[in-house]
Amino acid sequence: MALSTSSNFAKPDDAFRAIVEAHRGLTEAQSADLDAALVLVLANHIGDLDVLHEAIALAKRRTLDTSQQQQQQQQQQ
Amino acid sequence: MASANSAQAKTQFGYRRHPDQERSGANIAEHPVVVVGAGPVGLSLAIDLAQRGQRVVLLDDADRIGEGSRAICFSKRSLEFWDRLGVGDRMVEKGVVWSVGKIFHGASQLYQFNLLPEEGHKRPAFINLQQFYAEAYLVDRVEQLPEIDLRWRNKVIALESRNDGVALTIATPEGAYQVHASFVVACDGARSSLRQMVGADFAGQVFEDQFLIADVKMTAAFPTERWFWFDPPFHAGRSALLHKQPDDIWRIDLQLNPDADPVAEKQPENVRPRIERMLGHDKFEFEWISLYKFQCRRMAKFIHGRVIFAGDSAHQVSPFGARGANSGLEDAENLAWKLDRVLRRLSPEGLLESYHIERSAAADENIRESTRSTDFMAPVTKQEARLRQAVLSLAKDTEFGKRMVNGGRLSVPSVYDTPLSSGDRDDWRGGPRPGASMLDAPVTEPGGGSSYLTEVFIRQGTRFTLLEFGNGAAADVPDGVGSIQVGGEGGLVDAHGLAGKRYDAAPGTAYLLRPDGYVAARFRNATRPALDAALARASGVN
């Protein structure tokens, strides 16, 4: 595992807050543009394709889990 | 201005009856090699085989060289191959030499790149030359070689595979005849009929976006560079390319909407306003207009029994990256020496399998690169478009953004992961590794004349050659192996130190080059047993 998933920020709330605030006042389209640019900037900063692949896999697993849960909920309803 | 010589390049040829056509049944003519398709790939392959002493029958279903410039960018690697075939000078004299590309976004330049930033190479990174000139010069060379029997208006209509070769049925204006060939090489293009005859599939990705190519004639002061625009002011939301060719011809490539009407878009009266907006004037004439969609695909196997596929018949890519014709020429060069050895029974037929291994991997690489370029130019989803927009906007301020902008990654020789290579056993900090193409460098002859390593390699006969960096007397090389010595007694002088630097050389360093100029093995000190083993491996003998 090349990707670090331990907590790396001394104050994680500050980091989360910084990202949330960057999106304040933006339309959904503007937010999506910001995210796209931010992902590219951070990916380049990491500069390690293995880490990037693992990060993508981790993030994607969240997305799939969420959509599966939604599907199950819909089926239960 | 076009020189009189080139303007008169011969493009129309005649059908001639051949004595093979009098023969039939058990009496049909036997040929070692029949090459089908006299395009750049088939012509180059035939010349290479002929220069190695093979008799070649070269068939083409037309009797003229195709119209339109089609392929225009020929790479350094292709020029070095054509040097070996004796046509390099003519191509470069006529061609437009370039190495700088510029990428624009909107009205402003994002960045520029130089594909050959260093000195000391005989050939430039690229020349632009209309494909019909390249073909005409190759045909001229063919006509100097009595080993090649070029038959126009000879169309293969049936193919029957046999254990020891292939029987071909060939249609001509005077009816059909048959020949038998030990090997057939199909260089008959993207719509290869031989590929259909062997029943091979040709699966891959189809791109929906349409592109318009216009070659226009005009006198313009644009520099000889490759200019690529994303979202230019004259063609909002799409991409555009401008590139110079000989004879004051400019290649313009415009991306159209996927739903654009191909018939309407091709009409000169519809093309003209777009180009006027691009150039800012109307002082140009159309030479050629073509509209295309493209596919990225390759055959699963390049060899079907005794039928071997090369060039577009075996693989197709999008045009952004000059990977079509150039990769076909690399196919030809890769195949020629192997086929020659197999026909002479110097190597087992299994050597040909390395052609498939090496060139199908190269095709995969070309498909990957050109697919990425195409996806960047024509994003498929909204999110892809968003990511591309982010890259383009970041490119204004950041180096990493500039390098992510993909307006075509231009063809470079593949590095082969191949059973013909002997792996490195010594320590290397640089230099071309086994499976990589030889590097050029300037050298001085013992007599004082200046030359290049690629030229010296040709003078050695374009065969297995040991390139050795002097350590006293020359190494003992096996029979039939050429020898190039840099430094040492009576060797070439590495006056600029570039040969030594490019090959990470120390006294005693030796590279075993294959007949196609690829590195088979390298040694800090070449012993005869190690050399024999590497040679056997590279010949497919063990």
Q: For residues B287 and B358, state if they share a domain.
A: no
User: Residue B216 in contact with residue B283, Cβ under 8 Å?
Assistant: no
Q: Does one domain contain both B222 and B281?
A: yes
- Boundaries of domain holding A67: 48-77
The pLDDT value recorded for residue B2 is 34
What pLDDT does residue B8 have?
52
B390, A33: Cβ pair inside 8 Å? Answer: yes
Chain B residues near residue A63 by CB distance under 8 angstroms: none
B83 and B195 belong to one structural domain: yes
Q: Taking CB atoms and an 8 Å cutoff, what residues of chain A touch B394?
A: 37, 40-41
- Same structural domain, B242 and B265: yes
Residue contact A44–B400, C-beta within 8 A: yes
- Note the pLDDT of residue B484: 95
Contact assignment for B383 to A36 by CB distance below 8 Å: yes
Whether A4 maps to a domain, the answer reads no
What pLDDT sits at residue B205? 86
> What is the rounded CA–CA span in Å between residue B77 and residue B411?
9
- pLDDT for residue B521: 98
Among B321, B346, B367, which residue terminates a domain? B367
User: Is residue B466 assigned to a domain?
Assistant: yes
Task: Based on the fold, state whether residues A52 and A42 are members of the same structural domain.
Answer: no
B315 part of a folded domain: yes
Angle at B3 between CA B1 and CA B5, to 5 degrees: 160
Residues B183 and B218 in one domain: no
Clarify whether residues B461 and B525 are in a common domain. Answer: yes
Average pLDDT of every residue of chain B: 93
Same domain? B144 vs B60: yes
Residue B406 lies in a domain: no
Given a contact cutoff of 8 angstroms between Cβ atoms, the answer to whether B168 and B161 are in contact is: no
Q: Is residue A1 included in any domain, yes or no?
A: no
- Based on the domain organization, do B342 and B310 belong to the same domain? yes
Q: Clarify whether residues A23 and A42 are in a common domain.
A: yes
CB contact, 8 Å: B397 with chain A? Answer: no
Residue ranges, chain B, pLDDT below 70: 1-9
Q: Are residues A37 and A53 in the same domain?
A: no
B198 and B248 fall within a common domain: no
| Residue B257 and residue B341 in one domain | no
Q: Which chain A residue shows the shortest CA-CA distance from B386?
A: A33
Nearest to B222 by CA among B249, B259, B191, B253: B249
Q: Nearest CA to CA, how far is A22 from chain B (Å)?
A: 16
Check whether residue B52 and residue B170 sit in a common domain: yes
Q: Which of B293, B310, B344 is the last residue in one of the domains?
A: B293
| CA–CA separation, B230 and B406 (whole Å) | 10
Q: Provide the residue range defining the domain that includes B450.
A: 442-538
Question: What's the CATH number where B245 sits?
Answer: 3.30.70.2450
Q: How many domains does chain A have?
A: 2
Residue pair B145/B164 in contact by the 8 Å Cβ criterion: no
State the pLDDT at residue B314.
98
Q: Burial, B259: exposed, middle or buried (Cβ in 10 Å; 0-12, 13-18, 19+)? A: exposed
Query: Considering chain A, what is the average pLDDT of its residues?
Result: 91
Q: pLDDT-based confidence at A74, cuts 50/70/90?
A: low
pLDDT of residue B207: 85
> Is residue B76 a contact partner of residue B116, using CB atoms and an 8 Å limit?
yes
CATH of the domain at B180: 3.50.50.60
- For residues B38 and B174, membership in a common domain is answered with yes
Q: What is the pLDDT of residues B352-388, one digit of tens each?
A: 999 999 999 999 999 999 999 989 998 989 999 999 9
DSSP-assigned letter for residue B437: B
Rounded distance between C-alpha atoms, residue B81 and residue B515, angstroms: 11
- The model's pLDDT over B294-343, given as tens digits with 9 standing for 90+, comes to 889 999 999 999 999 999 999 999 888 899 999 999 999 999 999 999 99
CATH number at residue B519: 3.40.30.120
Model pTM above 0.90: yes
